[in-house]
Amino acid sequence: MKFKTLDWVDGALHMLDQRLLPNKVENVVLHTFEEVAESIKNLTVRGAPAIGVAAAYGMALAANRMELTEEEFSDEMERAGAVLRNARPTAVNLAWAVNRMLDVMEENGAIPLPEMRKFAIREAIKIHHEDASMCSKIGTNGAALLSDGMTILTHCNAGALATAGMGTALAVIYAAASQGKKLKVYADETRPVLQGARLTMWELMQEGIDATLITDNTAASVFAAGKIDAVIVGADRIAANGDVANKIGTYNVAVLAAHHGVPFYVAAPRSTFDMSLSDGSKIPIEERSGDEVVQIGGSRLAPANAKTFTPAFDVTPIQLITAIVSDEGVMPGGRA
């Protein structure tokens, strides 16, 4: 990739500021877990795997707060974990990464504090590298589903910007392209905050993939014209029965794909699966500020005080999914 979404440099977390893309390519440099939690909330970093990795670094920053004494350590880690976990509720990767940091620190509780601080950093870096490696495996596992000449539709951004590696849904496209397959991609703009227009288009164009931007409401006519051979999207949480929470509008695309007989693939790492929830109806769906709907780039689109409903995610039932591609392989869905 030609950019780094997250980077650990000299004891600080460097984060590509995704709020500014595609107009500016700038990093923010974070030194506290509170700053990391705020950056997750305000979408400086977004995408399920990326917010998990950011939260792991947030825990490492909490462990390295120098005024912290040995007696205060575990209470403070619990507090930092709760603040980070609460930053966004839907993507399970966030809680997964925080809980893993807490568990390994507790299991190694006998380590003296100076060593524990280094240990926390090493564990966060390990989570970062594991995420990158899971992305590559997803790419390899999914590439076999795509043939030369196909046109793929994607929704939101499930690329390198949403992970610590080459992405999930977009990793499949990058891996197939690297095998010499010529692919075309349609990117839904993805209202309200335009991850498709601002991020997926930027990322695909950086990587030399033939990408076309469409408004969300153009998707149906593109399917009807027979232009789409497959859909690939990411996931924020996958319940035990295979139902998938992903960016609002994913369900619309899944219904369209089923109606037009086009395969609908979901790509996600193990850290996105939540076996504690029996089905998608149990997945907590984040509601964001109505400002994201009534404004674009600070310009008002709707009357002042317009009522809004702004869920950030929806749930696609497993019956509408052809297959789920993970780092462990390809699992058939209800449309297989």
Binding mask 37-56 for ligand MRU (x = CB under 6 A): ---------xxxx-------
Strand-pairing partners, residue 247, are 313
Establish if 247 lies at the interface with ligand MRU (CB under 6 A).
yes
Give strand pairing partners of 186.
153, 212
Q: Is 61 in the site for ligand MRU (CB under 6 A)?
A: no
Q: Which is nearer to ligand MRU, 121 or 269 (CB)?
A: 269
200 lies in the site for ligand MRU, by CB under 6 A: no
CB 195 within 8 A of CB 169: no
Return the exposure string of 87-112: e unless at least 16 CB atoms fall within 10 Å of the residue's CB, then b. bbbbbbbbbbbbebbbebbeeeeeee
Q: Whose Cβ is closer to ligand MRU: residue 64's or residue 190's?
A: 190
Token pair, residue 270, equals 């193990």
Of 312 and 324, nearer to ligand MRU (C-beta) is 312
DSSP 235-284: -SEEETT--EEEETTHHHHHHHHHHTT--EEEE--GGGEETTSSSGGGS-
Choices 19-27, 142-150, 155-163, 177-185 (CB under 6 A): range interacting with ligand MRU: 155-163
Please give the Cα distance from 23 to 72 (Å, whole number).
43
Of the candidates 53, 91, 98, 175, which one interacts with ligand MRU according to CB under 6 A?
91
Question: Is 236 among the residues known to form the active site?
Answer: yes
- Contact between 238 and ligand MRU by CB under 6 A: the answer reads no
Q: How far is the CB of 114 from ligand MRU (least distance, A)?
A: 35
**Binding of ligand MRU by 280 (CB under 6 A):** no
CA distance 5 to 235: 18
By residue count, the chain amounts to 336
For ligand MRU, which is the closer residue by CB, 39 or 64? 39
For the annotated catalytic residues, the residue numbers are: 236
Task: Give the interface with ligand MRU as residue ranges (CB under 6 A).
Answer: 46-49, 91, 156, 158, 162-163, 168, 195, 233-236, 246-247, 312
